[in-house]
Amino acid sequence: MAAAGAARDAATATGGGAAPFTLRHLHLSLRVGFAAAGAGRLRGAARLELRCVRAGSREVVLDAHPALSVLGAWLLPPGGAGEGEGEGRELRFESRPFASYGTALHLALPEEPRPGELLVVRIDYETGEGPGVCWLSPEQTAGKQKPYMYTQGQAVLNRSFFPGFDTPAVKCTYSATVQVPEGFTAVMSATTWEKQKDNTFVFKMEHPIPSYLIALAVGDIVSAEVGPRSRVWAEPCLIEAAKKEYDGVIEEFLAVGEKLFGPYVWGRYDVLFMPPSFPFGGMENPCITFVTPCLLAGDRSLVDVIIHEISHSWFGNLVTNATWGEFWLNEGFTMYAQRRISTEVYGSAYTCLEAATGRALLRQHMDTTGEEHPLNKLRVVIEPGVNPDDTYNETPYEKGFCFVSYLAHLAGDQGKFDAFLQVGAALCWGRGVQEAVCGSRQWGCAREAVITWHGPPCPSPQAYVEQFKFQSITADDALNFFLEFFPDLKKQGVESHPGQRRTQRLGGSQPSSIQTWRAAGPASQHSESLALWLPAPGLPSQHWSYCRPICALDLGLSSAQCSQQELLVPGCKPSPGQQLGLTWEEVWDARSPTCGLGAPPAPLPTPLRRSGVRSLAQHAGLAALPARPVPGAAADEAGGRTGRAVGS
């Protein structure tokens, strides 16, 4: 399955959505072997079921990597299993340079295939420690007893895991058999799995997904149920903490997500807590999200971080950016969805405080890298010398969120934009399905609203998620559909207004934002008091979410030369591994005689201290809080930095 707009992805050797072949199904047959020291080996075969979509090609080109050693390639008879070595017709193959992050594997076909013809090729290979295949020694795990391996595909790392179409423009179903050593368990991002004899695990993903979402982890892993369709996975020494922290929580978030964006199609939603050396906050692999064990705070203060990964179930996993140059289609919509869910669960005050923190992160990033930097645009040109991983910064997240918020503003109100995302599709599913999702009364209101905006539903208008589910799309696909859904905006020529053209919005440096953070007032009051008028006894800081102490610490640094001890408010200091680590480390360094690696202390830029803004309350348009300032406060001489919540 190729992209809706058949986009050409410059980050893949295959041609992406414009390739002469489309991938229908991928099967991996793997054997995992750990080494006594260092990286282990992954050996097996990749079987690709291809369909020719354009005549004129006598070769199949796949993405690969120098870490991946190809042992042989075969053209199999249609319908052949092809599990054994030497079956089928052997193919000549050659690995050629492509980019700094991969190579191109060329398979020569014996004859030119006809359009519509099905081909099955098998590549036998082995791989060790590539950028997408990580091997951990026992010392790098929580239990310290057994080694561990996992894969990380985003953005273009899975080409070191298996040869294939490593581009988000191409989606396919996949299956896998994974043989592991005795005493180990394998998990994958699959809708079904079972353990067979000889320590072999069988997986199947029945929905088409891009290659970067195919993930594998092998280790001393056990599980515990935490909801009707969720379980947590972790090493035995962490499983009780994981169960206690997330029991009943995930289902609440999933239910709200379904109410807002439609049915959760992936079956189960499991969470795998990785070893402490896992270097990412989280990865939204479908059916099983990989996350850092830092989320096990012990007091459920970080459970809301899972909302972001759950939101990817609709935006990113179901509807996917066709190229990494428009990464904001994944992350901007996901940030918007995350904040819609958090508003339903925690209220608008919490969401606005968290969003203001994110906007501050974006401001800091822009100040550090320069607003005109090519990677700070929503539409990034992936050209030679640009690694798609470089697009990972605050821009697709927070600037993308601002742009999606701008679209919601154009829609007129929250209800209409909610309908654009999901409710319109309710008329296509039928009343029974939608009533099961969000109730009879809500379905009736949605139906009446859609008829009011679009006329009688014949044919029924489909919403964004329903229109593009299981597809990869471009920004033009999304924006053209938005204008079709709201024809009045198209008639008004909204894109022809000065500064409103999509090329300016997607290629400009400034975020599109109409958000105001007034609702953050109730959530930010205590943070403001703590940061600007320390010490402030009696504040209920022990029950804060992570956003509040981050806000307090950042403002404490930016607004006053507070001593380290003044910032050590009881109940506010984070426990080991919590998200506040980066910000707290800055508090420690900024107030010590030397900073970091022995450098003299220096003011740090603060994103909230600009244009005369001295406090988050003022930033949000709230009245200043009357209280006693800290002696020696010098807002213009100290800075701070706000840390992003972990999560991808």
Helices 581-590 and 547-559 pack at an angle, to 10 degrees, of 20
Q: Are 219 and 146 in contact (CB under 8 A)?
A: yes
Tell me if residue 121 falls in helix, strand or coil: strand
**Residues facing residue 99 across a β-bridge:** 102
Residue 308 labelled as part of a binding site? yes
Enter the DSSP assignment of 114.
P
- The Cα–Cα gap between 613 and 611 comes to 6
Q: Left if phi > 0, otherwise alpha if psi is -120 to 50, otherwise beta: which for 158?
A: alpha
Q: Are 115 and 55 in contact (CB under 8 A)?
A: yes
Please count the other Cβ atoms lying within 10 Å of the Cβ belonging to residue 47: 21
- The Cα–Cα gap between 641 and 636 comes to 15
Per-residue tokens: 110: 């014996």
Enter the DSSP assignment of 397.
I
Residue 365 labelled as part of a binding site? no
- The Cα–Cα gap between 110 and 99 comes to 28
Tell me if residue 404 falls in helix, strand or coil: helix
Per-residue tokens: 265: 């199609």
- The Cα–Cα gap between 61 and 63 comes to 7
Give me the active site residues, please: 309, 397
Please enumerate in sequence order all residues whose Cβ is within 8 A of that of 3, keeping only pairs 6 or more positions apart, or say none.
Answer: 16, 17, 169, 170, 322, 471, 472, 473, 474
Q: Are 166 and 49 in contact (CB under 8 A)?
A: no
What's the CA angle centered on 138, arms 134 and 143, to 5 degrees?
Answer: 115
Per-residue tokens: 288: 């099983």
What's the CA angle centered on 504, arms 607 and 399, to 5 degrees?
Answer: 30
Please enumerate in sequence order all residues whose Cβ is within 8 A of that of 243, keeping only pairs 6 or more positions apart, or say none.
Answer: 224, 226, 232
Residue 373 labelled as part of a binding site? no
Please count the other Cβ atoms lying within 10 Å of the Cβ belonging to residue 267: 14
Tokens 């001295």: give the residue.
614
Tokens 């050590």: give the residue.
568
Smallest CA-to-CA distance from 176 within 260, 276, 287, 95 is with: 287
Residue by residue, DSSP assigns 217-273 as: EEES-EEEEEETTEEEEE-HHHHHHHHHHHTTHHHHHHHHHHHHH---TTS--EEEE
What's the CA angle centered on 643, arms 509 and 602, to 5 degrees?
Answer: 85
Tokens 């896998």: give the residue.
176
Enter the DSSP assignment of 396.
I
Per-residue tokens: 611: 């244009």
Strands (E), 18-160: 21-33, 41-52, 59-64, 68-76, 89-90, 92-99, 102-108, 118-127, 133-136, 148-151
- The Cα–Cα gap between 563 and 399 comes to 34
- The Cα–Cα gap between 605 and 380 comes to 26
Smallest CA-to-CA distance from 262 within 467, 449, 471, 476 is with: 467
Q: Are 397 and 281 in contact (CB under 8 A)?
A: no
Q: Residue positions in the annotated binding site?
A: 308, 312, 331
* Residues in the annotated binding site for Zn(2+): 308, 312, 331
